[in-house]
């Protein structure tokens, strides 16, 4: 979890407190995130076949 928080801080540019909230949200909702991504069609834009991880079968 610390690595995720550190990556959010360094790559996204948010403060540590906000990154901790985001990480906790992701942890609490991990089972639903693939469905949300599939519904949003963001999976189509993920590189390297990652879209298949989220239900995109192209």
In this prediction, what percent of the chain has a pLDDT beyond 90? 55
Domain that holds residue 30: 2-54
With cut-offs at 50, 70 and 90, classify the pLDDT of residue 15: very high
pTM across the whole model: 0.65
More confident residue, 34 or 47: 34
Dihedrals phi, psi of 30, to nearest 5 degrees: -55, -35
C-alpha triplet 26, 50, 57: angle, nearest 5°: 115
pLDDT at position 38: 79
pLDDT at position 21: 97
Domain count, the chain: 1
Read off the pLDDT of each residue in 13-42 and give the average, rounded to a whole number: 91
Token pair belonging to 10 = 């360094």
Query: Does 14 have pLDDT greater than 70?
Result: yes
């Amino acid at each position: 979890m610390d690595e995720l928080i550190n990556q959010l801080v360094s790559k996204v540019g948010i403060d540590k407190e906000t990154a901790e909230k985001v990480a906790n949200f992701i942890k609490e909702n991990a089972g639903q995130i693939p469905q949300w991504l599939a519904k949003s069609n963001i999976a189509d834009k993920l590189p390297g076949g990652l879209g298949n991880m989220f239900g995109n079968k192209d």
